[in-house]
Structures are given as structure tokens and as C-alpha cells.
């Protein structure tokens, strides 16, 4: 099927429950949270789930019955780990869940299936994320420029990777998560590549997943990878003129954000230089038609 003419997924045969491949990525550092998340998936009603727990440099053990382990010998990074899990699960749909995330409602996955079935223009669904302890969610968890009420659904142009649902055919056409990135911005690329299929990425603010409030700067390589992957995102996905504008805009934004923190800014510029020096591969530039659709929807891919 030509790009920009895709539908999100196939209709379910009558009498068969939707089958969903579920990928949970973990390094084994949060066993209680991991178990909670798996059990929340197994409680989902009116769907079949095929759960694979990917141990990124770790062999998953003591899993709830029905969840299969997939041990990777080393930590290959978050996107590549998710891709390994995706290759191991079956189903007409695929769902990615972080090992510290969970689903509070037992009809969450069914609601996602109904959403993409009734609205075939939707190719990716990200729910509203709430901290289970009641800590207010940060505004950055609302994936749009004009934040508004977190409960309001809307189109989006990036996704928080903690809980992401797609028709399997859509995910396969994206080429998967950006494996070279290791960590940071892979959710932007995935959303862009859904848009490039003529579909939309959807923020389902009326659906809830739980995730603790954490700071991205907890990762020691945050500033370097943030900058390197911002450049790689442009090099892999944008027409050349837009790639230059996109990186230029984000360079200006980071200088304004962190000019009072020269250490952070120096780390960011080290990653920025690394991004230009190295070739991440996997280039597949968005069509100009997609750029126009994203612009009309409110977010040209230059910011």
C-alpha cells in the first residue's frame, strides 16, 4: 500500500477476541513495579494478550504465570530492547509498557482497540499518564504545545514511551523504534513515522495509565543523548532544509533554557557535535505532504 494511503489496522473477525502483543522492557531493578504492571495487563478483559518481558542485560525471573521472558545478553538501549520484544510477540495490535507503569482500569486495552477500529485514521495511541500516588503530573506529560486540560484528547506529534498502543501493521511500517538512539526522542520519531503513513498519532487524555513522576535528568547521559538524538532525529527524518531549521531552533531553545548552567550546556553541546559527526543510519525523510498535514494540524516539524 502506498505511503500516505494506509489504514491503521484490520477489522477483527467476528467472534474472535482482539489479540495484543505486549512488550515490557526491564533491567530487573524494579521487581515489585514490574509485577504490578504485568498483572494489570493480565487483568484486561475481552482481549487476548501475549506478554513478553524483555530483560535488557538481565534474565527476567519470578514472572507471573503467562508472561514469557526474553533475556538480552547486554543492555542494548531502550528502543532496541523494545524492538526485540516486538519481534517476539504476536497479535493484530502491539502495546509497549514500561516496567514502572501499570493500567488501573481493566478495559484499557479494549478501549484502545475500539478507538483505532472506530477511527481508522488513528495509528498510535498514548494515554494520559498519572502518578499512582497522587503527585501532580508534570506539564511535559501532555504532548502538545498548548497544554490545557490533561484529560482532553488531541492529535500529538511525539509520544511518551511509557505506554504506547498501535495496530501491529502500523508499527511494522514505521520500521520500529529508533534503535541507534539508545535513549531519548525515539517517541518523536515513532509518532512522525505514523503521521507519514497518512495517519495521526492520538493523545487519549480520557484513558489513564499510571507512571511515577520522575525527572529525565536522572539519567547520567541525559544532556549528551538529548542533543545527539535531536540531531539524529532531524538527519533521519526531515527533508534537508527542515533538518537544519529544526536543529537550529532547538539549539536556540537549549541555550535559553540552560545558559545559567554552563556545565549542562557543555554536555549538551558535546552531544550536539557528536550527532553531526556520526551517521545514525535509517534515513527515511518525511514527505512534504506529511509536513503540510502536520503544519495544518498545528505543529510543523521545525519545533
Asked if residue 125 lies in contact with residue 165, where contact means CB atoms within 8 angstroms, the answer is yes
Asked which of 214, 234, 269 is the last residue of a domain, the reply is: 214
Alpha carbons within 13 angstroms on the beta-carbon side of residue 243 total 18
Do 30 and 162 lie in one domain? The reply is yes
Give the pLDDT band of residue 1 (cuts 50, 70, 90).
Answer: very low
Q: Mind giving me the DSSP string for 227-278? A: HHHHHHHHHHHS-HHHHHHHHHHHHHHHHHHHTT-HHHHHHHHHHHHHHHHS
Mean pLDDT of the chain: 94
Do 37 and 147 lie in one domain? The reply is yes
Give the pLDDT band of residue 2 (cuts 50, 70, 90).
Answer: very low
Residue 2: inside a domain, yes or no?
A: no
For residue 10, pLDDT over 70 is answered with no
Asked if residue 194 lies in contact with residue 123, where contact means CB atoms within 8 angstroms, the answer is yes
State the pTM of this model: 0.94
pLDDT of residue 6: 62
Do 150 and 65 lie in one domain? The reply is yes
Asked which of 169, 198, 214 is the last residue of a domain, the reply is: 214
Do 200 and 53 lie in one domain? The reply is yes
Do 97 and 117 lie in one domain? The reply is yes
Structural domain boundaries, residue 228: 219-296
Question: What's the structural domain count of the chain?
Answer: 2
> Who contacts 23 (Cβ-Cβ below 8 Å, separation ≥6)?
52, 54, 82, 85, 86, 88, 89, 94, 95, 96, 97
Closest of 190, 199, 200, 202 to residue 284, by C-alpha: 190
Query: How does pLDDT run across 235-248, given as a tens digit for each residue?
Result: 999 999 999 999 99
> Who contacts 292 (Cβ-Cβ below 8 Å, separation ≥6)?
none
Residue 4: inside a domain, yes or no?
A: no
Residue 77: inside a domain, yes or no?
A: yes
Q: How far apart are CA 231 and CA 111, in angstroms?
A: 36
Q: Which CATH number goes with the domain that contains 187?
A: 3.90.550.10
Amino acid at each position: 500500500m502506498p505511503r500516505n494511503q494506509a489504514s491503521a489496522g484490520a477489522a477483527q473477525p467476528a467472534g474472535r477476541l482482539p489479540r495484543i502483543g505486549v512488550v515490557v522492557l526491564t533491567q530487573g531493578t524494579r521487581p515489585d513495579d514490574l509485577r504490578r504492571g504485568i498483572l494489570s495487563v493480565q487483568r484486561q478483559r475481552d482481549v487476548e494478550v501475549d506478554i513478553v518481558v524483555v530483560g535488557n542485560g538481565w534474565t527476567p525471573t519470578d514472572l507471573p504465570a503467562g508472561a514469557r521472558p526474553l533475556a538480552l545478553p547486554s543492555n542494548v538501549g531502550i528502543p532496541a530492547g523494545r524492538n526485540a520484544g516486538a519481534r517476539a510477540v504476536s497479535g493484530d495490535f502491539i502495546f509497549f509498557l514500561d516496567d514502572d507503569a501499570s493500567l488501573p482500569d481493566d478495559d484499557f486495552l479494549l478501549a484502545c482497540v475500539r478507538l483505532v477500529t472506530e477511527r481508522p485514521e488513528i495509528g498510535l495511541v498514548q494515554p494520559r499518564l498519572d502518578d499512582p500516588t497522587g503527585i501532580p503530573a508534570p506539564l511535559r506529560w501532555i504532548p502538545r504545545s498548548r497544554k490545557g486540560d490533561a484529560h482532553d484528547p488531541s492529535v500529538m506529534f511525539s509520544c511518551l514511551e511509557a505506554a504506547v498502543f498501535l495496530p501491529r501493521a502500523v508499527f511494522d511500517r514505521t520500521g520500529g523504534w529508533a534503535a541507534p538512539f539508545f535513549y531519548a526522542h525515539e517517541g518523536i520519531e515513532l509518532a512522525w513515522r505514523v503521521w507519514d503513513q497518512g495517519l495521526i498519532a492520538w493523545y487519549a487524555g480520557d484513558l489513564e495509565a499510571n507512571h511515577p513522576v520522575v525527572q529525565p535528568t536522572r539519567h547520567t547521559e541525559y544532556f549528551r543523548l538529548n542533543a545527539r538524538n535531536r540531531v539524529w532525529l532531524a538527519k533521519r527524518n526531515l527533508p534537508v532544509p527542515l533538518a537544519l531549521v529544526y536543529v537550529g531552533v532547538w539549539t536556540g531553545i537549549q541555550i535559553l533554557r540552560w545558559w545559567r548552567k554552563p556545565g549542562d550546556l557543555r554536555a549538551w553541546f558535546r552531544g550536539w557535535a557528536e550527532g553531526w559527526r556520526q551517521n545514525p543510519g535509517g534515513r527515511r525523510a518525511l514527505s512534504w505532504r506529511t509536513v503540510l498535514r502536520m503544519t495544518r494540524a498545528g505543529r510543523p516539524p521545525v519545533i
